[in-house]
Amino acid sequence: MPAVNRLPSGRRAGALGALALTGALLATAPAAQAAPAAPISAPAAATSPTARPTPTGDGARSICKRLPSTEGHLTKALNRLDGDATVAGSVARLEQRAANARTAGHTEIETYLNGRLTTRKALVGTLKARQDDLKSVATWCAAHGRGAGK
């Protein structure tokens, strides 16, 4: 076969995949219309291969191990949220955008941005609470010989 008549390998694979999908859909369409699917029984769902056993511990070793990076992530997020209007993702920037929408008379945009602003302000409080909680976790890890390390 001349090279001119052949599709590039990526397009050929895509065309074959689309053809196989179409065939599979056409083959199952009459069967799907003939009889409704049976509901999954409870025992079958309980024995699924993705079911995991219940935890036996609290994960303290993992939490203590990840403590420095978790503190870093929280600090970085709070610095971004507390930034001025020039910092992308900051509360001040979103407040400025809402004020700009109000000035321009875009009430729907202002409403949308004010909803986001409410959520973002609540996020600041949540992250500060987590940061305080991590201080007590760091104390616990040090007291129990589970030194924090990356």
Per-residue pLDDT of 98-109, as tens digits, reads 999 999 999 999
3-state secondary structure the chain: CCHHHCCCHHHHHHHHHHHHHHHHHHHHHHHHHHCCCCCCCHHHHHCCCCCCCCCCCCCHHHHHHHHHHHHHHHHHHHHHHCCCCCCCCCHHHHHHHHHHHHHHCCHHHHHHHHHHHHHHHHHHHHHHHHHHHHHHHHHHHHHCCCCCCC
Instruction: Indicate the pTM of the whole model.
Output: 0.59
pLDDT digits (tens, 9 = 90+) for 10-23: 665 666 555 555 55
Segments making up each domain of the chain, as ranges: 60-143
